[in-house]
Structure 1
Amino acid sequence: MVRIELKGIAKVTAKGRTYWYAWRGGPRLKGEPGTPQFIASYNEAVQDHRAPDKSRFRFVVSDYKRSNDYGKLAQSTRDQWGTWLDRIAEYFGELRISQFDRPEKIRPVIRRWRNKWADTPRTADYGMQVLSRVAAHAVQTGKIAGNPCEGVEHLYKNDRSEIIWTDAEIARLKNTCSNEIATAVDLAGHTGLRLSDLLRLSWSHISDDAIILTTGKSRHRREAIIPLYGALREILARIPKRSTTILTNSRRRPWTADGFGSSFNKAKIDAGMSQQDLHFNDLRGTAATKFYVAGFTMREIAETLAWEEESVEKIIRRYVGRTAAIKARIKKLEAKE
């Protein structure tokens, strides 16, 4: 039997299973070593690597695999993402990149792909996380204008009532993230504003005593009025005035939603927190907890955060942890003694 020497192949063993890649960081090969399928997949990978069609989405996947962002991921994460990147390239690879610039057309295609794992919602959402990161890479490199994955809802539904960022989790993220991300986290955790409102928050929204801002969620019919208490004043005092908006990126420009989302996800990955079920907007719960424990009534919190007053009890139950609520009641009882 003739033995064919394939150069550069990388072997990875994880959880007792062996995987083969065309090269380190390259696409995973199909079939068993030495089989026609294995050789064909190797040749295909090499051909794509040498002369990729830059107009096809397969090129975006390959380009992301060669990026510094992908290279910085832990080997275990690359092992998991590698499988999904292969699936993404196989399903979307022949589509033109320009098709991803038409959200109303591509989102049904994305949903059909996601729904292949509809019986395991967390798996489906994990695949969407990887696809969204590839699409974000396309945005960052100027190939498409926006990330179409952001309009695709998650399949896994859960009660986020006690999912808030603890002080330890915030400290862990800030230990490795950029100053710009750390500033956004601090501001969210002390104001309770949604990300969309934070990104447009400007210095002109700050009065002598409060931050006053109409909220996008209410279509600007309601105002959030957040008192400038000591800790919040300290955070604002530390932020350099680089732009009319308070939050800026490393280039001293206002954040875009896609740009911030990509940077925040990368910060979670760098901190080893990519598998934790923590969203940026869960920092709203952190702020609500601070206000509740400080003695704010539910009505006062509703007015501060521009939540609907008639549903404030439900929102408080959802965002404020049970332990924090008990501590607040103890504090009130002690104050009456």
Structure 2
Amino acid sequence: MVKVDLKGIAKVKAKGHTYWYAWRGGPRLVGQPGSPEFIASYNAAIEERRTPDKNRFRFLVASYKASADYKRLAQSTRDQWGKWLDRIADYFGELRVAQFDRPEKIRPIIRRWRNQWAEKPRTADYAMQVLSRVMAYAVEQGSVAGNPCEGIKRLYENDRSEIIWTDQDITRIKATCSVEIAHAIDLAGHTGLRLGDLVRVSWSHVGEHAMIIKTGKSKQRREAMIPITSALREVLARIPKRATTILTNSRRRPWTADGFGSSFNKAKIDAAMVEMDLHFNDLRGTAATKFYLAGFTEREIAETLAWEEESVKKIIRRYVGRQAAIKAMVRKMEVRE
């Protein structure tokens, strides 16, 4: 039998048998190495890879790499993301895109892929960030209904005590984002509501002096009671009443958390802020800072945001910058004097 050197072939041994694949994660080859059947199946696999099936995940990754969203990224980001996109295509490429519409089935597969870097949590989370962006693109294109990466917890836990959205950050993203995203940013920054509560808060929750809503994280056992300050009243006055919910998308329909998340990520890309370590929920820290600087006690902030009282000090340290806390204490001392 003639020996033929075919590049990229993967050899796998399992239960005493040897199997050959066109490439790692690729289709299984037929026959013995060097046989006509083997070479024919290899050539067929390579040809299919060159003209990928549009229903396969590999085609989705290629489409994202050719998209305007990807090309708007900084060159340094594209250099890093390109490597991860290749890894994603190699691992998930042969799966059908429709499989990603079944979160309960695909999430275990995604976690197994991520856990290859479990000992390097930052790397694992970076890998998930790139995959999540591909899935967000798929949602925008209508290929899948939701992003299965949403809800998978990050492995790396860092102290976000001084990570809040500053006025400059907010001005920057609002310069390029849609008016609907801008309304959400303003509302989050003045209420401190989590995204899940923010997208379902309705006009009926707005009273004369406060917004009151049962929080989703507490399974609606606790209420967030947000005082309506003059600044929050101005925000509410700017938002048109298009539905029962306060926030709506460009189609005048209530947001879903996944839909908003995808649009918000795109807004960060448009504002060239994708490399900044800012999450939407860091706007909770912005609101807490405003409440703290306005003279709210830690207990009052906990009651306002429906946080647990026994952990309020920890949460304030996490979300309210130390410099802001020092300034607040100095201001209180000056008032007493």
TM-score range, shorter chain: 0.7 to 0.9
Counterpart residue number, 2:115? 115
Report the count of equivalent residues. Answer: 295
Residue aligned with 1:224, SS: strand
Alignment partners' CA distance in 2, 1:305 and 1:215: 9
Q: Which has the higher mean CA deviation after the structures are superposed, 217-226 or 106-115?
A: 106-115
On the 8 A contact 2:139/2:262 being kept in 1, the answer is no
Q: Which is higher, the Rg of structure 1 or of structure 2? A: 2
Residue aligned with 1:146, SS: coil
Alignment partners' CA distance in 2, 1:163 and 1:76: 23
On the 8 A contact 1:107/1:151 being kept in 2, the answer is no
Alignment partners' CA distance in 2, 1:75 and 1:262: 22
Alignment partners' CA distance in 1, 2:260 and 2:316: 27
Residue aligned with 1:170, SS: helix
Q: Residues 157-187 of structure 1: CA distance to partner in whole angstroms, max 9, x if unpaired?
A: 1111222111222222222222111111111
Alignment partners' CA distance in 2, 1:60 and 1:253: 27
Alignment partners' CA distance in 1, 2:257 and 2:59: 24
Correspondence 1:285 to 2:285: yes
Alignment partners' CA distance in 1, 2:44 and 2:224: 56
Counterpart residue number, 1:13? none
Alignment partners' CA distance in 1, 2:263 and 2:288: 25
On the 8 A contact 1:295/1:332 being kept in 2, the answer is yes
Correspondence 1:173 to 2:173: yes
Correspondence 1:324 to 2:311: no
Structure 1 residues 304 and 97: CA distance shift in structure 2, 3 A: same
Letter in 2 for 1:299: R
Q: CA deviation at 1:47?
A: 5.3
Residue aligned with 1:200, SS: coil
On the 8 A contact 1:98/1:144 being kept in 2, the answer is yes
Counterpart residue number, 2:15? none
Structure 1 residues 190 and 55: CA distance shift in structure 2, 3 A: same
Counterpart residue number, 2:83? 83
On the 8 A contact 2:72/2:269 being kept in 1, the answer is no
Structure 1 residues 334 and 73: CA distance shift in structure 2, 3 A: same
Q: CA deviation at 1:275?
A: 1.6
Counterpart residue number, 2:99? 99
Alignment partners' CA distance in 1, 2:48 and 2:156: 35
Counterpart residue number, 1:225? 225
Counterpart residue number, 2:72? 72
Counterpart residue number, 1:35? none
Structure 1 residues 212 and 88: CA distance shift in structure 2, 3 A: same
Residue aligned with 1:204, SS: helix
Residue aligned with 1:225, SS: strand
Structure 1 residues 207 and 48: CA distance shift in structure 2, 3 A: farther
Q: CA deviation at 1:119?
A: 3.2
Letter in 1 for 2:183: T
Counterpart residue number, 1:258? 258
Alignment partners' CA distance in 1, 2:89 and 2:280: 29
Residue aligned with 1:164, SS: coil
Question: Which consecutive aligned stretches of 4+ in structure 1 deviate over 3 angstroms post-superposition?
Answer: 43-51
Sequence identity percentage: 75
Alignment partners' CA distance in 2, 1:213 and 1:169: 28
Spell out the pairing of 1:139-178 with structure 2 (5 A cutoff): 139-178=139-178
Alignment partners' CA distance in 1, 2:230 and 2:278: 27
Structure 1 residues 238 and 44: CA distance shift in structure 2, 3 A: farther
Counterpart residue number, 2:16? none
Letter in 2 for 1:119: E
Q: CA deviation at 1:45?
A: 12
Q: CA deviation at 1:239?
A: 0.7
On the 8 A contact 1:163/1:278 being kept in 2, the answer is yes
Counterpart residue number, 1:21? none
Q: Which has the higher mean CA deviation after the structures are superposed, 303-312 or 194-203?
A: 303-312
Letter in 2 for 1:66: A
Alignment partners' CA distance in 2, 1:313 and 1:120: 30
Structure 1 residues 59 and 290: CA distance shift in structure 2, 3 A: same
Structure 2 gap segments, 5+ residues each: 1-42
Letter in 1 for 2:277: D
Letter in 2 for 1:304: T
On the 8 A contact 1:84/1:127 being kept in 2, the answer is yes
